[in-house]
């Protein structure tokens, strides 16, 4: 089953309390496709890089089976580059530099054979570019979209229009509060779903996620990790694993969405173990099954029988 | 099955984004006992108030079946009073005033018939007072202890000694990091357990909790709420529900601990719905069963079969 991801392909320069990495392979489209490829084929990437983008980076993606016919190489430009420094607790981070470079003029034209993709992942980008991709699709069954505070602030109309055309929005808790103008997360969630998306995934980093669909609310914890080197790409990996798992289904039920969330979270738990996409590039599929089994144990909730108060222990 | 709770009985003055309450009934021992009383009898409270403590407050506790023979009334003192203001997101809060009053000279002497209590809840207090209570107990089967950053900073030796004598420490994530001097929560947890407690519950407020025992790690989300009026007492309610549920068991297995965590969390989800202990005072036991059922639905994880990669979808 086919999946298409549009997003950034980037140089990431990262500092965390455990070390640093300079101009490693990064970007939302990179992480989304590297996670999705464990579940489906073809995995199609749409993005742009500059003439400076190293052949070995292209080769690592190709070796993972990613279809790169939608990766434009701009001979006159430099690749998008991001630099950031994570705080001591690895949750917050400061952006040190953002060089848009080739992204400034990016206007994606999809290869004709990409247009029938069944699931579309719109990685974080200008909402008008995300819309431009949607306009080129035939009839995707599921459109999943990420965004960020910058677009919520600066391009609210374009974002509103986009929200009316996607199935699933995947954002973090602060972005959800900001988008809805409401500090209670559950009320914010209802307000956002009223704008269009019938599935809303609110990511809370190390605290897991809350997922709402038309009929249910699902709260689940992240996989607790002892050794985190670099959180970069965790959210995009989560999206890729989520979307990838769903390609194996013909309908998107609450249960399949919950399983997809678990796979997305399990995949993300690998990404953060090493700098950049290193762990994801070399991940063995058996490791995913092992981590899912551990995840099941860690989140296992035993059955609960209704309490009875026949022994007089309750005083009302 | 008997439970004993020592802690504060207080006047709380609270401001939240949804309103305010002045000198309402509060304190850790109040919330712990009000939650525990749904599960067991007797529920014994040890604490101190001043001559200014209103008879109706005493009466509300008594009406809930709390055994108040351990509640000392200091005729020369004023009741401990706390005032605080919650931030817009209801997570953080600023303390506006702390008047220790009768707590400054509090030196609890347990009624003789309290000494056989099976489970002991040591609400947040000076660790030397918590120890003084432990010294008066016969042989409790489970000792659960709370503490806070102030004691971690100012009485580290007393706290270390106490950690060697308790079974279960229940603290929030920031306190765990501070107590261990380690920013990764899982590594902090291991370091704390090396100090004594064989069960560690790390509370993360609206993000749920992580629980470690000798053999397992358990991560679970909080009950997502749309209407929070006042988070005061949520952590103590959680401890009371947790401890109360465990009084119904003869052994403390991983499964009974997980169920206890769910009950503690469900009880806490009621406390935050109204200012002070209002919701807890008038809670009907059927409401607990209903919320537990909703909690089960919200946290339900469907079974997951190991993935197979026979269709060529994986490229390693």
Number of structural domains (chain B) is 1
A173: CB partners within 8 A, 6+ apart:
A185, A202, A203, A204
Of B185, B225, B259, Cβ closest to residue A304: B259
Contacts of A316 in chain B (CB under 8 A): 284-285
Give the pLDDT band (50/70/90) at residue A299: very high
Q: Does A307 touch chain B (CB under 8 A)?
A: yes
Secondary-structure breakdown of chain B: helix, strand, coil percentages, each rounded to the nearest 5: 40, 25, 40
Find the closest chain B residue to A34 by CA distance: B315
C-alpha Rg value of chain A to the nearest Å: 20
Residue A305 covered by a domain: no
pLDDT, mean of residues B126-131? 97
Judged by CB atoms closer than 8 Å, whether chains meet at B224 and A186 is answered as: yes
Q: Which residues are CB-contacts of B154 (< 8 A; sequence separation ≥ 6)? A: none
Q: What is the DSSP letter of A34?
A: H
Which of A86, A91, A95, A44 is closest to A65 using CA atoms? A44
pLDDT of res. B294: 94
The verdict on A222 touching B (C-beta cutoff 8 Å) is: yes
The answer to whether the beta carbons of residues A48 and A9 sit under 8 Å apart is yes
- Give the model's pLDDT for residue B251: 86
Q: How confident is the model at residue B316 (pLDDT cuts 50, 70, 90)?
A: very low
Whether B40 and A313 lie within 8 Å, measured CB to CB: yes
Nearest to B95 by CA among B222, B232, B225, B219: B232
Looking at CA atoms only, how far is residue A14 from chain B in angstroms? 19
> Does residue B216 sit at the A interface (CB-CB below 8 Å)?
yes
CA angle centred on A229, ends A245 and B169, rounded to 5°: 90
In a domain, A314, yes or no: no
Domain holding A281: CATH number? Answer: 3.40.1190.20
Give the pLDDT of residue B310: 57
Rounded Cα distance, B271 and B26, in Å: 11
Token pair, residue A121, equals 């992942």
Share of chain B above pLDDT 70, in %: 98
**Residue A26 in domain:** yes
| Minimum distance, in Å, between the CA of residue B100 and any CA atom of chain A | 31
B89 touches chain A (CB under 8 A): yes
Answer yes or no: is pLDDT of B206 > 90: no
- Report whether B9 contacts B30 (CB < 8 A): yes
CB contact under 8 A, A224 and B186: yes
In sequence order, what E strands does chain A have? 3-6, 10-16, 19-26, 43-50, 66-74, 81-86, 93-99, 119-122, 142-145, 168-172, 199-203, 209-212, 217-220
Chain A nearest CA to B104, separation (Å): 33
> Residue B192 has which token pair?
């704390």
Residues of A in contact with B309 (CB under 8 A): 38, 285
Is A311 domain-assigned? no
pLDDT above 70 for A314: no
Q: Which domain holds residue A246?
A: 3-299
CB within 8 Å: A226 and B17: no
What are the strands of the beta sheet with A10-16, ordered from one edge? A19-26, A10-16, A81-86, A93-99
pLDDT digits (tens, 9 = 90+) for A82-121: 999 999 888 789 999 999 999 999 999 999 999 999 999 9
Helix ranges restricted to H, chain B: 28-36, 55-63, 127-135, 149-154, 156-163, 173-180, 185-193, 234-246, 254-271, 278-281, 285-299
Helix (H) or strand (E) holding A256: helix A254-271
Chain A contact present for B273, CB below 8 A? no
- Kindly state whether A206 is in contact with chain B, defined as any CB-CB distance less than 8 angstroms: yes
Provide the shortest C-alpha distance from residue B225 to chain A (in Å): 6
Of the residues B230, B240, B242, B316, the best mutation for testing chain A's interface (the one with the most A CB atoms within 10 Å of its CB) is B316
| Residue A208 falls in which region: left (phi positive, over 0), alpha (psi -120 to 50) or beta | left
**Between B13 and A248, residue with greater pLDDT:** B13
The answer to whether B147 and B169 are in contact (CB under 8 A) is yes
Asked if B108 reaches chain A (Cβ–Cβ under 8 Å), the answer is: no
Q: What are phi and psi of A12, to 5 degrees?
A: -110, 130
pLDDT at B217: 94
Contact in structure between A43 and A157 (CB atoms under 8 Å): no
Residue B71 dihedral angles phi and psi, to the nearest 5° = -95, 105
CA distance readout (Å), A197 to A128, A192, A193: 17, 7, 5
Interface test with B, best of A118, A186, A221 (most B CBs within 10 A): A221
Bridge partners of residue B256, in order along the sequence: none
Q: Please give the Cα distance from B146 to A224 (Å, whole number).
A: 22
**In the predicted model, what is the mean pLDDT of residues B4-11?**
98
- pLDDT band for position A310 (50/70/90)? low
CB within 8 Å: B65 and A228: no
Query: Is the separation of the CB atoms in A176 and A203 below 8 Å?
Result: no
CB count in 10 Å sphere of residue B154: 11
Q: A-B interface: how many C-beta pairs under 8 angstroms? A: 165
**Å between A274 CA and nearest CA of chain B:** 15
- In chain A, residues with a C-beta closer than 8 Å to the C-beta of B289 are 306-307
For A42, nearest residue in chain B (alpha carbons) = B313
* B97 contacts: CB under 8 Å, gap ≥ 6: B13, B81, B82, B83
Tell me the residues of chain B between 224 and 263 that have a Cβ less than 8 Å away from chain A.
Answer: 224-228, 255, 258-259, 262
Token pair for B152: 């971690």
Q: A239: distance to nearest CA of chain B, Å? A: 18
Report the residue of A224, A231, A262, A308 to disrupt the B interface, i.e. the one with the largest count of B CBs within 10 Å. A224
Q: Is A17 on the interface with B (CB under 8 A)?
A: yes
Closest CA–CA distance from residue A260 to any residue of chain B (Å): 10
Residue A305 per-residue DSSP state: P
Residues 51-70 of B with CB under 8 A from A: 63-65
User: Does the CB of A301 have a partner CB in chain B at under 8 Å?
Assistant: yes
Reported as a single tens digit per residue, the pLDDT across B258-306 is 999 999 999 999 999 999 999 999 999 999 999 999 999 999 988 888 8
DSSP string, A84-128: EEE-TTSS-EEEEEEE-GGGGG------GGGTT-SEEEE-SS-HH
Nearest to A122 by CA among A8, A7, A203, A200: A7
Q: How far does chain B reach from its first CA to its final CA, in angstroms? A: 57
Residues of A in contact with B249 (CB under 8 A): none
Sign, CA dihedral B18-B22-B28-B34, equals negative
What is the DSSP code (8-state) at residue B101?
G
Residue A316, domain member (yes or no): no
Q: A310 at the B interface (CB within 8 A)?
A: no
Is beta strand B209-212 parallel, antiparallel or unpaired with respect to B66-74? Answer: unpaired
Where are the strands (E) in B2-54, listed by range?
3-6, 10-16, 19-26, 43-50
Cβ distance of A219 and B221 shorter than 8 Å: yes
What's the CA gap between B148 and B179, in Å, rounded?
Answer: 9
Instruction: Find the mean pLDDT for residues B154-172.
Output: 97
- Full-model pTM: 0.90
Whether residue B301 and residue A17 make contact (CB cut-off 8 A), yes or no, is no
Hey, is B19 helix, strand or coil? strand
pLDDT tens-digit series, residues A150-182: 999 999 999 999 999 999 999 999 999 999 999
Query: B220 is written with which tokens?
Result: 């679970």
Cβ separation B40–A226 shorter than 8 A: no
Per-residue pLDDT, A22 = 97
Banded pLDDT at A316 (limits 50, 70, 90): very low
Contacts of A312 in chain B (CB under 8 A): 41
What value of ipTM does the predicted structure carry?
Answer: 0.85
Residue in B38, B187, B315 closest to A314 by CB: B38
Tokens of B165: 């004598």
User: B101 CA to chain A: closest CA distance, Å?
Assistant: 31
Helix, strand or coil for residue A266? helix
């Amino acid at each position: 089953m086919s999946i298409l991801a549009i997003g950034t392909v980037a140089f990431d320069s990262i500092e965390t309390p455990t070390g640093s990495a300079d101009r490693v392979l990064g970007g939302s489209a990179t992480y989304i496709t590297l996670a999705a490829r464990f579940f489906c084929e073809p995995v199609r990437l749409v993005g742009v890089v500059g003439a400076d983008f190293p052949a070995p980076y292209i080769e690592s993606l190709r070796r993972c089976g990613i279809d790169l016919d939608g990766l434009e190489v701009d001979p006159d430009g430099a690749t998008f580059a991001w630099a950031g420094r994570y705080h001591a607790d690895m949750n917050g981070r400061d952006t040190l530099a953002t060089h848009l470079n080739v992204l400034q003029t990016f206007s994606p034209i999809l290869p004709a054979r990409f247009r029938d993709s069944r699931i579309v992942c719109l990685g974080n980008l200008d909402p008008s570019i995300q819309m431009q991709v949607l306009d080129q699709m035939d009839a995707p069954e599921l459109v999943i979209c990420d965004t960020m505070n910058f677009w919520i602030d600066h391009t609210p109309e374009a974002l509103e229009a986009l929200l009316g055309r996607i199935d699933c929005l995947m954002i973090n808790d602060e972005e959800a509060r900001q988008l809805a103008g409401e500090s209670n997360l559950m009320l914010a969630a209802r307000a956002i779903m009223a704008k269009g998306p019938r599935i809303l995934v609110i990511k809370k980093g190390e605290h897991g996620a809350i997922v709402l669909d038309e009929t249910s609310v699902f709260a689940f914890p992240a996989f607790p990790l002892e050794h985190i080197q670099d959180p970069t790409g965790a959210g995009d990996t989560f999206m890729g694993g989520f979307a990838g798992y769903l390609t194996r289904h013909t309908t998107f039920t609450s249960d399949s969405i919950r399983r997809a969330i678990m796979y997305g979270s399990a995949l993300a738990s690998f990404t953060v173990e090493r700098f950049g996409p290193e762990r994801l590039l070399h991940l063995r599929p058996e490791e995913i099954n092992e981590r899912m089994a551990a995840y099941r144990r860690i989140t296992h909730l035993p059955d609960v029988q209704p309490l009875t108060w026949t022994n007089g222990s309750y005083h009302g």
